[in-house]
Amino acid sequence: MSSSASLSPGGAAFASNPAPAAALAQATPRAPRILSIDILRGLVMLVMLLDHVRETLYLHLQVSDPMSVATTPPEVFFSRLAAHFCAPAFVFLTGLSAWLYANPPSGTPRPVKSFLIKRGLLLLALEFTVITFAWSGDLPPRVIYLQVIWAIGLSMIVLALMSGLPRLLLAAIGFVIVFGHNALAGLSFAPDSPFYLPWTLLLHRGPVIAEGALQIKLTYPVLPWIGVILLGWVAAPLYAHTVASSRRVKALLALGAGCLALLLVLRGFNLYGENAPWEYGATRVHTVMSFLNFTKYPPSLDFLLMTLGTALLLLAAFERTDNRATRFLSTFGGAPMFYYIGHLLLLLALYKLGLAVFGPNQGSRFGVAPEQFWVVWVATVVLIPVLYFPCRAFARYKRSSKQAWVRYF
């Protein structure tokens, strides 16, 4: 375990488990990592890999948001649906880990504001530089997409500024944002309006700079993610060292089941929480697809109930699970930022290699044919061990190193 906590990104949440401060680490045994957090993070990181392989090899057949049930093949739909769990879990765990950093087992609170601001600014800098290059391969870039790392970084800064507020007030703000933002989904402003830019940053996906040599487009409006990170902070005391594991599991199960039960009611009757109503399809599969077809940009209430509810149930399930599979997953979860940047650069290199060898075989791009989506699954499985060993080596180095820069990864 590293000598200090690391809050780093998921697309793909990228917050490493907190560890004792360096001075305490030298004086007392290091507190064990909360493996269930690493396991969940590792699981969603591998699911994220599947989605990013899809975007690398299948980008010529893009999916909309929400997806088109009529035109999206089921194998593509459910692969994309699985990836929906990544960002909410990452952002929620970021808030949770921030509270654990601020409230270590030693009982002596640590100042968290500067910690979160510095890491948030680092994530913003990475989004505009390294991650933009890893997605596009262009240097200098023609378009910068503000995506999940942007959302996590900005949410961390907002959390830093609000961290001193009472927990009940933060809970109220988080719930109002998560449950209330859907009521504003139909509100938009013209690009020449003075309200366009702040509204785009908060709740309306769109271009920030639409013309010129460098364009900026926002994919992740940040307001709902601020609500999620606040709820992660509020839920974190369940992981205090004074809370028994059995009590934590019961609370996680109740919260997760409550989220999914509310989802069934809201979605089942098309009441509230998703602007795209579901309907019966030509087949049972298409009916299920329609029911589970939620808006991600920005994440609707139903989207968050499904993803966070499932994440809470998985945290409960992983609480007392220790086997080869979970230890394998926790290795990825212990090096989240390293993994995130590394897997994007690896996919970029493989795409450039495929383009050089086979040429643009899908229009202007290199990729797989529509009927060959299975290649995406196979490629994902092949890449997992390729990424595992560097992540394991870096996680071990991070645990043993006293270098300050390691904390950022």
Q: How many domains does the chain have?
A: 1
Confidence of residue 229 (pLDDT cuts 50, 70, 90): very high
Report whether 218 contacts 207 (CB < 8 A).
yes
Residue 15 falls within a domain, yes or no? no
Q: What is the pLDDT of residue 80?
A: 96
Mean pLDDT of 265-291: 96
- β-pairing verdict for 206-209 and 215-218: antiparallel
Cα–Cα separations (whole angstroms), residue 259 to 265, 309, 312: 10, 5, 9
Distance (Å, whole) CA 290 – CA 294: 9
Q: Give the largest CA-CA distance in the chain.
A: 66
Residue 4 falls within a domain, yes or no? no
**Containing structural domain, residue 215:** 22-408
Mean pLDDT of 262-282: 96
Residue 119 falls within a domain, yes or no? yes
Confidence of residue 408 (pLDDT cuts 50, 70, 90): low
Residue 339 falls within a domain, yes or no? yes
At 303-358, the pLDDT tens digits run 999 999 999 999 999 998 999 999 999 999 999 999 999 999 999 999 999 999 99
403 backbone dihedrals φ, ψ, rounded to 5°? -70, 135
At 381-397, the pLDDT tens digits run 999 999 999 999 998 88
Q: How many residues does the chain have?
A: 409
Q: What is the pLDDT of residue 402?
A: 78
Encode 209-222: b = buried (16+ Cβ within 10 Å), e = exposed.
eeeeeeebbbbbbb
Distance (Å, whole) CA 353 – CA 360: 11
Residue 10 falls within a domain, yes or no? no
**How many Cα neighbours within 13 Å face the side chain of 269?**
6
Tell which residue, 301, 167, 154, has the closest CA to residue 230. 167
At 36-75, the pLDDT tens digits run 999 999 999 999 999 999 999 998 888 899 999 999 999 9
Confidence of residue 32 (pLDDT cuts 50, 70, 90): low
Q: What is the pLDDT of residue 27?
A: 39
Give percent of the chain with pLDDT exceeding 90.
Answer: 76
Provide the mean pLDDT of the chain: 90
* Whether the predicted pLDDT of 272 surpasses 70: yes
Residue 272 falls within a domain, yes or no? yes
Distance (Å, whole) CA 323 – CA 335: 19
Candidate from 14-28, 69-83, 190-204, 382-396 with smallest mean pLDDT: 14-28
Q: Chain centroid to CA 260: how far?
A: 19
- Give the predicted TM-score (pTM) of the model: 0.90
Residue 14 falls within a domain, yes or no? no
CA angle 37, 40, 45 (to 5 degrees): 120
Residue 13 falls within a domain, yes or no? no
- The larger pLDDT score, comparing residue 227 to residue 405, is at 227
- The larger pLDDT score, comparing residue 120 to residue 29, is at 120
- The larger pLDDT score, comparing residue 173 to residue 59, is at 173
